[in-house]
Amino acid sequence: MDLYVYYRVQHHYSAELQAIVMTMQKNLSNLHELSFSLKRRVEKNVDYQTWMEIYFSVSDEFVAVLEHAVTSAGLLRLIDGERHNEIFVDMPPCA
């Protein structure tokens, strides 16, 4: 499964957030041998940004691992509102 996590961030926290998330993702990758991505929506709103973390081919248990990493990194203090998780799975190819 692939895990997509999105949330809102006030613009003035973006540089700090990026540094924390990138470090957290690198540490998680080293520990769990996973691929990841970090994206930001292109928005006209200058006060807020929408960010998305993507974790590819992870297990169900990884959600709890990620929650612990987010708390340990102090990420929640930079986020406006909640982190939203979406899970997607690959579709089998047509025969």
In the chain the domains, ranked by start, together with CATH numbers, are 2-88 (3.30.70.100)
- Residues belonging to the chain: 95
Q: Which of 33, 55, 51, 54 is nearest to 42 (CA)?
A: 51
Q: For the whole model, what pTM was predicted?
A: 0.90
**Tens-place pLDDT, residues 47-77:** 899 999 999 999 999 999 999 999 999 999 9
**Tens-place pLDDT, residues 22-41:** 999 999 999 999 999 999 99
Residue that the structure tokens 């990620």 belong to: 66
Q: Which of 37, 41, 40 is nearest to 56 (CA)?
A: 37
